Amino acid sequence: MCNSGQHKEATRLLNEMVDNNISLSIFTYTILVDAYCKEGMISEAEAIVDTMRKQGIEPKVVTYNALINGYCLQNKMDKARGVFQLMIKKGCAPNILSYNIMINGYCKAKRLDKAMELFHEISQTGLIPDTVTYSTLMQGMCQLGRVSTACELLKKMVASGQVPDLVTCSILLDGFCKGGKLEEALKFFQAMRNSGVELNIVSYSILIDGLCKTGHIKVAKELFCELSINGLKPNVYAYAIMINGFCKEGVPDEAYQLFRSMEDNDCLPNSCCYNVMIQGFFRNGYTSEATQLPTEMVSKGFSANLWTATLFVDLIIRSNKSILI
């Protein structure tokens, strides 16, 4: 019921169990607390915790973690910290997941100093930071443009015996690309290959996107063609990146050829691909070609986004002006 969003019915059942003197476990209560927190219904989650206490059941770490996560999802970090401190006060020691949730919350709130304070606190408790801890912090650093600091953390991670996984590496690769450090991105990508990390379509797409945005379309095209050689199948996102890249480089014909090849490769264009292609035609002065695609797009159940619609409105206005003149 919680998984399907029927929280009220789940609460009704829980109260019915209490009324019928059916013994409830911490797990039963926590399911409901977690569900309410993920839906942003923190006050309801707190009410469930109060019911637990009235039944003589004290919250455990899993319950506290659910509450902390609920406040973090709403960016209420002071409230989350309050629950974190209450857990310690009640004699319930936080686990590594507790710290990871808090660190993630602080990173998303761009309060990296607080996240680092908790990171340094972990070792004092006897816990060991895991891959998620390092990855979360690295992502927070990269989002603030502190890629070099993220690299230092990666070195510390390896030195501590933690092995970076594909997610960790992809975070840093994305940081290099978004920071405009394409040379470092290419070197790191090659290092990922050499280390035996099994690259996926996401890793390739990150680098291809970075290359396209910085005008390195030739290298991007080579990587895109390399996908099938390595047994990877381009998805709609990868196609949209390359189509947009070709259009930005002033080769809409090559973009359209790739766009039309999608169906042959069992990857049907979605709304994003149609919008990117239409915008690319407009950008390169291919007005006639741009006006032919919307009918096909609509027939497949897709619609123009705001930017595409604006381009058509602008075209109509200019056409009306030329008729008046």
- Provide the sign of the torsion angle of the four alpha carbons 173, 178, 183, 186, taken in this order: positive
Q: What is the CATH number of domain 1-124?
A: 1.25.40.10
Residues 205-255 have pLDDT tens digits of 999 999 999 999 999 999 999 998 888 999 999 999 999 999 999 999 999
Q: How far is the C-alpha of 229 from the C-alpha of 222, rounded, in Å?
A: 11
CA dist 102 and 69 (Å) reads 8
Q: How many other CB atoms are found less than 10 A from the CB of residue 309?
A: 13
* Chain Cα centroid distance, residue 308: 25
Q: Which two tokens stand for residue 74?
A: 């709403």
pLDDT tens digit string along 79-138? 999 999 999 999 999 999 999 999 999 999 999 999 999 999 998 999 999 999 999 999
